[in-house]
Amino acid sequence: MIVIIDFGSQFNQLIARRVRECRVYCQIEPPTITADQIRSLSPEGIILSGGPSSIYEANSPRVDAGIFKLGIPVLGICYGMHFMVDSLGGKVKQATKREYGFAALNAKSQTGLFKSIGKETVTWMSHGDSIDALPKGFAVTASTANTKVAAMTATGKKFYGVQFHPEVEHTAEGRKIIRNFLFDICGCKPSWTMKSFARETIDQIRQTVGDKKVILGLSGGVDSSVAALLIHRAIGKNLTCIFVDNGLLRKDEAAQLKRKLKSRLDINIRFVNAASKFVKALSKVTDPERKRKIIGKVFMEVFEAEAKKIKNADFLAQGTLYPDIIESQSAFGGPTSVIKSHHNVGGLPKKMKLKLVEPLKYLFKDEVRKLGKTLGLDEDLVWRQPFPGPGLAIRVIGEITKKRLDVLREVDAVLLEEIRAAGYYRKVWQSFAVLLPIKSVGIMGDGRTYENIVAIRAVTSKDAMTADWAKLPHKLLGKISNRIINEVRGVNRVVYDISSKPPSTIEWE
């Protein structure tokens, strides 16, 4: 395994991804970790990430310099390289020529990190500081027009530094460089597979939980379903899942889960029908943030009441993923401004005093999907598009009533049927309908209608941070519109949302 020290770079997750793509397990750790703690993890190598600080600033992040005495190879990237230089007796200073963007890198030789790399290769830079003096024992291994020390090595010690970012796509041969570090320099083996991860995690869960009981909030999404499956494999009937039907779900959702998780996989699930409670609490509420807060609060109450019925439960399981953890602990990036309050992250009842089990906390979304597949989860569940915790409440714009929810549910069902049939369900990140709070005039048969408008939203995205509207074929859009207007009573107009994120968001509220 590889330990990545987080100096606050926006690319940290990318470093982790690149390492795991090579089938080597890695973990991102804060700089407060000690050299002894790192040793106890027995890593084959350490990667020091980049970061926004300058190493000569008073409060710049530093990790225990004892890491250089562990006899483990270290790769410093950008700020990580500056930290290495500073700790080992070299000097870093503000660069006279800052370098942002593409830079042609000339490696002195095609060995070590640069094995099989072109003599001149495109890299991506983002730095205002440069190495002024190398520590003793180090030599320059590559340069660019503006940066003399674009890469360095300490011969014999397996310490490497690069000023550019090998983890980003823009660095043409970045993957090769990372592979060289992992396999040639650290001697890692590409042995990390989902099967081995599943086996180890199931063992760990058994050890942690013993014969105690675990409660899990099941949402129907891929994360909580996979978490349920893993824990079920470990402890069987000692796991109880709670599924709260908040009345804001898509058509037949609860029934599908019953079929796919309860009947087929024999997982212990309690279904709580709290639809009327949620709809009542939301009555006359139109403000999106208030909707979210109310849904969060009612969810807690319902969940807690149900959880109390389960005797001797010591653990609460959550399908928290790695990006959630990294974002919430981001040591130097600070919290990003709250655009929408997402109530599913870390939001379960603290006062219940349950210990947490988070078996997916080191995985990325696509890895969770792979794991789900390995564990035999139904394809439909594995490939589910993300669905927000507040559900259709933030897609019924304005006032929420059972009737309006039902209209949207019907529209959504038609839309998804067509998107699936046309082979677009997995090609887009999300596809859904939004019910607008205005009516428009139409004509049906010989009569005037005055009915609802729905907007169709389909976006492509890699991680929901940015998104583009999906360029669905006109023919498909036409068919969707036609079917919705013909089949769903109360809708006489369909529009297509052609905004990207940013400046819009994916959901309308």
Please give the helix or strand (H or E) that residue 458 lies within, else none.
Answer: strand 447-460
- Min dist CB 321 to ligand XMP, Å, is 11
Nearest to 431 by CA among 402, 461, 396, 407: 461
Q: Residue numbers of the site for ligand XMP (CB under 6 A)?
A: 292, 339-340, 342-344, 386, 388-390, 430, 464, 501, 505-507
CB of 160 to ligand XMP, least distance (A): 37
Which of 2-41 are b and which e, b meaning 16 or more Cβ less than 10 Å from the residue's Cβ?
bbbbbbbbebbbbbbbbbbebebbbebbebebebeebeee
Contact 175, 182 (CB under 8 A): no
Q: Indicate the residue among 44 and 509 with the shorter CB distance to ligand XMP.
A: 509
Which spans in 320-438 are helix H? 322-329, 365-374, 379-382, 402-421
Residues near 360 by Cβ (< 8 Å), separated by ≥ 6?
A: 223, 226, 227, 230, 319, 320, 321, 322, 368, 371
For ligand XMP, the closer CB: 62 or 501: 501
The type of residue at 464 is A
Cβ distance to ligand XMP smaller for residue 43 or 220: 220
Half-sphere exposure of 472 (CA within 13 A, CB side): 31
Distances (CA, A) of 378 to 232, 369, 371, 432: 15, 11, 12, 22
Distance of CA 381 to the CA centre of its chain: 17
Residue with smaller CB distance to ligand XMP, 23 or 342: 342
Of 206 and 293, the one with the shorter C-beta distance to ligand XMP is: 293
d(CA 406, CA 232): 34
CA distance linking residue 322 with residue 102, whole number of Å: 30
Q: How far is the CB of 399 from ligand XMP (least distance, A)?
A: 19
Work out how close the CB of 174 gets to ligand XMP at its nearest, in angstroms, rounded to a whole number: 28
Count of beta carbons in the 10 Å neighbourhood of residue 437: 12
Q: What is the closest distance, in whole angstroms, from the C-beta atom of residue 173 to ligand XMP in the complex? A: 33
CA atoms within 13 A on the CB side of 361: 15
Residue number, 1 or 325, with CB nearest to ligand XMP: 325
Estimate to the nearest angstrom the gap between the alpha carbon of 180 and the chain centroid: 27
How many residues does the structure list for the chain?
Answer: 509
Q: Which residues are catalytic?
A: 78, 165, 167
Q: How many CA atoms lie within 13 A of 166 on its CB side?
A: 31
Give 339 or 443: the residue with its C-beta nearer to ligand XMP.
339
Contact status, residue 37 vs residue 75, Cβ threshold 8 Å: no
Sign for the pseudo-dihedral over CA of 123, 330, 27, 361: negative
Residue whose token pair is 């407060």: 32
User: Closer CB to ligand XMP, residue 147 or residue 430?
Assistant: 430
Q: Residues 447, 448, 452, CA angle at the centre, nearest 5°? A: 125
Long-range contacts of 442-447 (CB under 8 A, 24+ apart): 442/492, 442/493, 444/492
End-to-end CA, the chain: 42
Considering the complex, state which of residue 205 and residue 459 has its C-beta at the smaller distance from ligand XMP. Answer: 459
Task: Report how far residue 269's alpha carbon sits from residue 359's, in angstroms, rounded to the nearest whole number.
Answer: 19
